[in-house]
Amino acid sequence: MLVVKKFGGTSVADKERIFNVAKRCMKSYQAGDDVVVVLSAMGKMTDVLIDQAKDINPNPSKRELDMLLTTGEQTSVALMAMALHSLGVPAISLNAFQVAMHTTSNCGNARIKRIDSERIRHELDQRKIVIITGFQGVNKYDDYTTLGRGGSDTTAVALAAALHADSCEIYTDVDGIYTADPRLVKKARKMKEITYDEMLDLATLGAGVLHNRSVEMAKKYNVPLVVRSSLTDAEGTVVKEDVKVERMLVSGVAADKNATRISVVGLEDRPGVAFRLFDALAKANINVDMILQSIGREGKKDISFTIPEDVADEALNVIEKNMERLKAEKVDCKRNVAKVSVVGAGMMSNPGVAAKMFECLYNSNININMISTSEIRVTVLIDEKEVEKAINAVHEAFGLED
Amino acid sequence: MLVVKKFGGTSVADKERIFNVAKRCMKSYQAGDDVVVVLSAMGKMTDVLIDQAKDINPNPSKRELDMLLTTGEQTSVALMAMALHSLGVPAISLNAFQVAMHTTSNCGNARIKRIDSERIRHELDQRKIVIITGFQGVNKYDDYTTLGRGGSDTTAVALAAALHADSCEIYTDVDGIYTADPRLVKKARKMKEITYDEMLDLATLGAGVLHNRSVEMAKKYNVPLVVRSSLTDAEGTVVKEDVKVERMLVSGVAADKNATRISVVGLEDRPGVAFRLFDALAKANINVDMILQSIGREGKKDISFTIPEDVADEALNVIEKNMERLKAEKVDCKRNVAKVSVVGAGMMSNPGVAAKMFECLYNSNININMISTSEIRVTVLIDEKEVEKAINAVHEAFGLED
């Protein structure tokens, strides 16, 4: 078995935890596996480095920031190799240059383009554990790049794909994917298996265990993902294309509290209006989330959308600068809203899911602000303070605790 | 002018010092120079990283230690680029992979083999200050290497040679090369110029300003070196092949307190004896320094040599293990001795220098343990506690204060 194991920053935060990870890898190695380990920077090191950079230059160039940040994972992998050596296990660390991990050129938010697997295979053939820096790559100019949020997950999946690994294990502080956030829903149940598409919708919608880029890539290259705890030996959740267990109507409920709704009211009802609005936002690098267009009064139309809370002010600024061009009447902003979603590959062939969700929210006296659906997902926007009540009600309505 | 400027760890130890260096480089840049900057790791960072490694593994592999240590210089260069950007100066940092800096394969003590200057020239052509990690290289396996003690000086000189730089400026905490250590000899005088050979003997003999590897390389490629202070604008000392000023008999006096003398007494007087002794030491990776062979009693011979204090016990071990093979009668060890040397290209054509030095030490009532000479140097071994008296006396005897 060739296994890629990814450990986040908290799993390598100090000497004791480094040895915990080393011992776990040793166990797999001694069982005969070829082991590739992907590590993030230790604990809060990335944040410390960013602070150090901003102290020198409040607005550091992305190229130089990545040059600085990549030292974080390089430190982790070197120390992990030393820990494995002291356990008597052959191991070698590799950074993005040594792999090589080729990415697109944009620093701070690069995408992996190609991985040379020759060096890794060579070291595995020597029966070494190969420890690789997560989060980082090298672009065509030979500059360091970083992959943005959740980058180390993406590194692990990309390596698993390039090496045709039998499994890609993502170690986190939870022991798998649950039907709902166990901190909010007491009856939440750990899932044994989940499909890529369900996981994608859960990741995008704020379940927060795996970054959606890594799940997208796992789906594209059919990499079997396992999400499990770095602290226990519990089995975890397998993410894959086809799930063997009988399809549940709904797999899980996710909530994302970090939302703001903006409504642009009284737009002209003619082609190009939506384009102009979202083009202006895209040019300001603001990603919108749910979009809803409705028919307004007197041949006008309204467009509402949700965005993360922290870019709300920026988005409002952009829209206000473009009011004349957009020919809008006014802009509304509703903060402290949250998205609650039910996700399930089973709902594709069952049209009653949305209705059941709305009924259950109505029974709990929760008002719905916006609705958005996809083939395997129904999302509603509600007041942030009603999130906990809502997901518990929905969780129960779909019988997820069984 | 293309100028290579090298700054040590203390010069970039904190934000304020980083900006000091940045401003100095900016000045040179604004005067129209092409500026290449070589940096060490910040302050004590290398020591901190070594401690971190040894906490994980008391005997870390050199390959992984270099993987860890190279993060130090990478941090310095990234922060320096950010500092220059915040001053409005275009700048880019490059590590050993990006340069690329090819070295021999032995980690921890590699030697530079070849430097690709294409990327550096390209960035200089864009009118950027190019900031390069000192001390580090990459070997033919694409592993990081480090260059050992004084490595960043060597990086700077090698870059100056590869780029045919007009000058290679080594910034230190002293403002140049003195006729003797100014902390020990009050009348010590800063030299305007000194030859490579003199500097080599001074570096080897413990003057401690430049590492001899960097001076050897500067001599080989005829790189004009300037040693100057990072804190003042004082002119510093130029190290070059031919010195214009009228040749002094002696240029400087150096002392090296870190010495131990070992004497192997009563060896057989036949071929191969010295070889066997020093071969055994070389195989234990112990570098000996001065060597003296004398005729002993009854057709036997004695061999004495000096070594750094910290390897004395190891050397004694090696010799004692080989006593039978060496057929020696006994081994003596004298600790707390020091080397005092006078150096000067001028003494090549003047045979009186050694005699004058011995006379002066005799007048000061200082006993000489060993004598060793080269074309441009006379070295004596004396008691460590008499060093200060000795170098002051010699300094005065040769009129170096004038």
Q: Taking 80 as the threshold, does the pLDDT of residue B219 lie above it?
A: yes
Q: Average pLDDT in the B222-244 region?
A: 87
Q: How far is B149 from chain A (nearest CA, A)?
A: 21
Question: Which residue, among A12, A71, A82, A122, would best test binding to B if mutated, counting the most B CBs under 10 Å from its CB?
Answer: A82
Cis preceding linkage at B100, omega within 30: yes
pLDDT in tens, A45-77: 999 999 999 999 999 999 999 999 999 999 999
Q: Taking 70 as the threshold, does the pLDDT of residue B203 lie above it?
A: yes
pLDDT of residue B270: 76
B368 has a chain A CB within 8 A of its CB = no
Q: Do A82 and B64 touch (CB under 8 A)?
A: yes
B52 has a chain A CB within 8 A of its CB = yes
Q: Taking 90 as the threshold, does the pLDDT of residue B14 lie above it?
A: yes
CATH superfamily, domain B253-397, is VC0802-like (3.30.2130.10)
B227 has a chain A CB within 8 A of its CB = no
Give chain A positions within 8 Å (CB) of B45. none
Which of A383, A370, A373, A384 shows the shortest CA–CA distance to A263? A370
Cα–Cα distance for residue pair A316/A333, rounded to 1 Å: 8
The model carries a pTM of 0.81
Question: Which residue, among B20, B64, B73, B120, would best test binding to A if mutated, counting the most A CBs under 10 Å from its CB?
Answer: B64
| CA A151, chain centre distance (Å) | 9
B16 has a chain A CB within 8 A of its CB = no
Q: Which residues contact A317 (CB under 8 A, 6 or more apart)?
A: none
Q: Do A81 and B70 touch (CB under 8 A)?
A: no
pLDDT of residue A291: 84
pLDDT of residue B48: 96
Least confident of A20-24, B132-136, B275-279: B275-279
Give chain A positions within 8 Å (CB) of B53. 78-79, 82
For residue B305, the tally of other CB atoms under 10 A from its CB is 23
**DSSP letter at B190?**
B
Per-residue 3-state assignment (H helix, E strand, C coil) for chain A: CEEEEEECHHHHCCHHHHHHHHHHHHHHHHCCCEEEEEECCCCCHHHHHHHHHHHHCCCCCHHHHHHHHHHHHHHHHHHHHHHHHHCCCCEEEECHHHHCEEECCCCCCCCEEEECCHHHHHHHHCCCEEEEECCEEECCCCCEEECCCCHHHHHHHHHHHHCCCCEEEEEECCCCCECCCCCCCCCCCECCEEEHHHHHHHHHCCCCCCCHHHHHHHHHCCCCEEEEECCCCCCCEEEECCCCCCCCCCCEEEEEEEEEEEEEEEEECCCCHHHHHHHHHHHCCCCCCCEEEEECCCCEEEEEEEEEHHHHHHHHHHHHHCHHHHCCCEEEEEEEEEEEEEECHHHHHCCCHHHHHHHHHHHCCCCCCEEEEECCEEEEEEEHHHHHHHHHHHHHHCCCCC
B215 has a chain A CB within 8 A of its CB = no
Tokens 């509402």 — which residue? Answer: A304
Cα–Cα distance for residue pair B320/B278, rounded to 1 Å: 13
Q: Do A71 and B74 touch (CB under 8 A)?
A: yes
Q: Do B60 and A82 touch (CB under 8 A)?
A: yes
pLDDT in tens, A212-267: 889 989 999 999 999 998 888 888 999 988 766 555 678 889 888 888 999 888 88
For residue A207, the tally of other CB atoms under 10 A from its CB is 22
Of B57, B79, B95, the CB nearest to A86: B57
B15 has a chain A CB within 8 A of its CB = yes
B374 has a chain A CB within 8 A of its CB = no
Taken in order B210, B212, B213, B214, the sign of the CA dihedral is positive
Q: Average pLDDT in the B257-273 region?
A: 84
Cα–Cα distance for residue pair A127/A124, rounded to 1 Å: 5
A187 has a chain B CB within 8 A of its CB = no
Q: Do A68 and B78 touch (CB under 8 A)?
A: yes
Q: Average pLDDT in the B251-255 region?
A: 88
pLDDT of residue A325: 83
Question: Which residue, among B42, B50, B54, B67, would best test binding to A if mutated, counting the most A CBs under 10 Å from its CB?
Answer: B67
Q: List, for chain A, all residue ranges whose pLDDT scores fall below the cut of 70.
A: 205-208, 243-248, 296-297, 349, 351, 402
CB pairs under 8 A between A and B: 103
Of A18, A61, A85, the CB nearest to B85: A61
A56 has a chain B CB within 8 A of its CB = yes
Q: Taking 70 as the threshold, does the pLDDT of residue B234 lie above it?
A: yes
pLDDT of residue A180: 87
Between CA B8 and CA B12, with CA B11 as vertex, the angle to 5 degrees is 95
Give chain B positions within 8 Å (CB) of A83. 56-57
Cα–Cα distance for residue pair A4/A150, rounded to 1 Å: 16
Write out residues 58-77 of B within 8 Å (CB-CB) of A. 58, 60-61, 63-65, 67-68, 70-71, 74-75, 77
Give chain B positions within 8 Å (CB) of A37. none
Which 3 state secondary structure label does DSSP give B276? helix
Cα–Cα distance for residue pair A262/A301, rounded to 1 Å: 14
Residue of B nearest to A72 (CA): B71
Q: Taking 60 as the threshold, does the pLDDT of residue B246 lie above it?
A: no
pLDDT of residue B274: 81
pLDDT of residue B345: 78
Q: State the architecture of B2-172 in CATH terms.
A: 3-Layer(aba) Sandwich (3.40)
A81 has a chain B CB within 8 A of its CB = yes
Return the structure tokens found at B264.
């192997």
**For residue A164, what are the CA distances in angstroms to A118, A193, A197, B219, B336?**
13, 21, 21, 53, 63
Cα–Cα distance for residue pair A324/A343, rounded to 1 Å: 40
A79 has a chain B CB within 8 A of its CB = yes
A132 has a chain B CB within 8 A of its CB = no
Q: Taking 70 as the threshold, does the pLDDT of residue B369 lie above it?
A: yes
Least confident of A60-74, B15-29, B292-306: B292-306
Q: Maximum CA pair distance of chain A?
A: 77
**DSSP letter at B245?**
S
B39 has a chain A CB within 8 A of its CB = no
Cα–Cα distance for residue pair A347/A374, rounded to 1 Å: 10
Domain segments of chain A: what residues? 2-172, 253-397
**For residue A45, what are the CA distances in angstroms to A48, A52, A71, A208?**
5, 10, 9, 21
